Amino acid sequence: MDKLQTLKGFRDFLPGKMVIRNEAIRRLRAVFEKYGFDELQTPALEYAEVLTGKYGEEAEKLMYLFRDPGDREVGLRYDLTVPFARAIANNPALPKPFKRYQIQPAYRAENTQKGRYREFYQCDVDIAGSSSPMADAEIIAVVNDCLSALGFTNYKIRVNSRQVLFSIMEKAGVEQPRWLTVIRSIDKLDKKTRVEVEAELDTKGITKEQIKSVFEAISKAKPDDFLTTTLAYARSLGIQNTLVFDPTLARGLDYYTGPIFESVVEEPKIGSLTGGGRYDGLLKTLGGPDLPATGTTIGLDRVCDVIEELNLWPNLPKTASKVLVTIFNQNLAQEALKIASGLREKGVNTEVYPSDNEKMEKQLKYADLKSIPFVLIIGPEENEQGVIQLKNMQTGKQETVKIDELVRKLSF
């Protein structure tokens, strides 16, 4: 049979990548739980009816919709928000406000040329059932703590609100049907120059005078009452220098109804890693209950790719194993296993070379390939004297160690 590949846009996560993914998820989970969010998981497959008619035709072209062996119309999870709405509707006994986090893959038949994956992990944190700015402030605090827990130091959380944007449009005298198209251009000010954005607005038929007024209104914009309270609460939660009011932030999506937030890592320059906001009407539109909601998504694949590419966690061990116990020969195999078993009992992650009939050279090579920090060798002499040879694979140094002292030597 031919060697078969993974589908385009789908990836194996080999051990080296998994170590980073697991560490990132462990850190994020710890933050979510510190804030009292509980985990929810939903199925990969849903009735097609749950998924379709929610995000427009373009989105539906990217959905994996098909007939299952029982001839039901089904589809793969497209995001975590629709299943969130469906799960709340199906489980009325869930305490409200309902605070949940969810870390699961979603599926979209995207153009892979753009560096997008077709199976990608979403990591969503939401509060459903509170219309208070306190809920928005908690989400902002979660984002702040997540970035900090992941080890990013130079980042900003840009905050704005739908009301601020609308008020800018009103003051600038833009006709209401054009608000969204103007806002979409304004939103690009973090990537384009003012001149470029002005040119774009011009092509959209916005008058020179209106454009001038828009930028004037932006320069004078202030948070509205709701956002002011949100920011005050976020500051009480300890978020100070990282919080920035940015009246040009819009985050494309039309379903936000209040505060909007996005986090941007400035050093290294990698753009936005999280985005979210308040979406009070959406859960109902998606087939869920009529509950106000606010939340954020964290780009887990992006986070992990960036950490790996930039080697942000240089000290993260590449394997969980602390030591490889080699097998000198069949006669000494049982002695080696007893030592391995003793180390494991003491909590030392201990790998045994899984063969009793392999050259020592190959066993050492294996430890090297897997980046296992230490190797134990128990030869005939060592066995007689109740000692072992302990080799530090990084320094190459080898020393004779009494078995009783082994645990101490390996616990650091």
Site for a second copy in 206-235 (CB under 8 A): 229, 232-233
Task: Examine residue 280 and tell whether it contacts a second copy (CB under 8 A).
Answer: no
What crossing angle do the helices spanning 208-220 and 162-171 adopt, rounded to 10°? 130
Nearer to a second copy, 61 or 208 (CB): 61
Indicate the burial class of 250 (C-beta count within 10 angstroms; 0-12, 13-18, 19 or more).
buried
Task: Please pick, from the candidates 90, 193, 331, 392, the single residue that binds a second copy as defined by CB under 8 A.
Answer: 90
Q: Which two tokens stand for residue 54?
A: 């929610």
Task: Please pick, from the candidates 147, 327, 377, 406, the single residue that binds a second copy as defined by CB under 8 A.
Answer: 327
Nearer to a second copy, 90 or 398 (CB): 90
Binding mask 46-85 for a second copy (x = CB under 8 A): xx-xx----------xxxx-xxxxx-x-x-x---------
Nearer to a second copy, 102 or 210 (CB): 102
Task: Examine residue 338 and tell whether it contacts a second copy (CB under 8 A).
Answer: yes
**Residues 355 to 384 in contact with a second copy, rule: CB under 8 A:** 355-357, 366, 369-370, 372
Task: Examine residue 352 and tell whether it contacts a second copy (CB under 8 A).
Answer: yes
Among the candidate windows 249-257, 308-316, 329-337, 398-406, which touches a second copy by CB under 8 A? 329-337
Task: Examine residue 332 and tell whether it contacts a second copy (CB under 8 A).
Answer: no
Across the strands, what pairs with 276?
261, 296
Across the strands, what pairs with 394?
none
**Residues 242 to 271 in contact with a second copy, rule: CB under 8 A:** none
Give the interface size with a second copy as a residue count (CB under 8 A).
107
**Residues 281 to 310 in contact with a second copy, rule: CB under 8 A:** 287
Rounded Cα gap, residues 328 and 332, in angstroms = 6
Task: Examine residue 403 and tell whether it contacts a second copy (CB under 8 A).
Answer: no
Tell me the one-letter amino acid at 31: V
Task: Please pick, from the candidates 125, 141, 186, 282, the single residue that binds a second copy as defined by CB under 8 A.
Answer: 141
Task: Please pick, from the candidates 52, 131, 181, 329, the single residue that binds a second copy as defined by CB under 8 A.
Answer: 131
Task: Examine residue 133 and tell whether it contacts a second copy (CB under 8 A).
Answer: yes
Nearer to a second copy, 341 or 392 (CB): 341
SS3 assignment, position 46? strand
Q: Which two tokens stand for residue 378?
A: 């128990």
Among the candidate windows 104-112, 214-222, 258-266, 376-384, which touches a second copy by CB under 8 A? 104-112
Nearer to a second copy, 14 or 195 (CB): 14
Nearer to a second copy, 185 or 230 (CB): 230
Rounded Cα gap, residues 395 and 194, in angstroms = 56
- CA distances in angstroms from 210 to 120, 123, 196, 219, 252, listed in the order given: 41, 40, 16, 14, 21
SS3 assignment, position 66? strand
**Residues 161 to 200 in contact with a second copy, rule: CB under 8 A:** none
Classify the C-alpha dihedral 163-168-172-178 as positive or negative.
negative
Nearer to a second copy, 147 or 172 (CB): 147
Q: Which two tokens stand for residue 13?
A: 């996560």
Give φ, ψ of 331 to 5 degrees.
Answer: -65, -30
SS3 assignment, position 277? strand
Rounded Cα gap, residues 395 and 167, in angstroms = 65
Q: What is the DSSP letter of 180?
A: H
**Residues 17 to 46 in contact with a second copy, rule: CB under 8 A:** 18-19, 21-22, 33-36, 38-46
- At closest approach, how far in Å is the CB of 141 from a second copy? 8
Q: Which one, of 86, 84, 77, 89, lies nearest residue 99 by Cα?
A: 84
Q: Which one, of 66, 69, 63, 97, lies nearest residue 82 by Cα?
A: 63
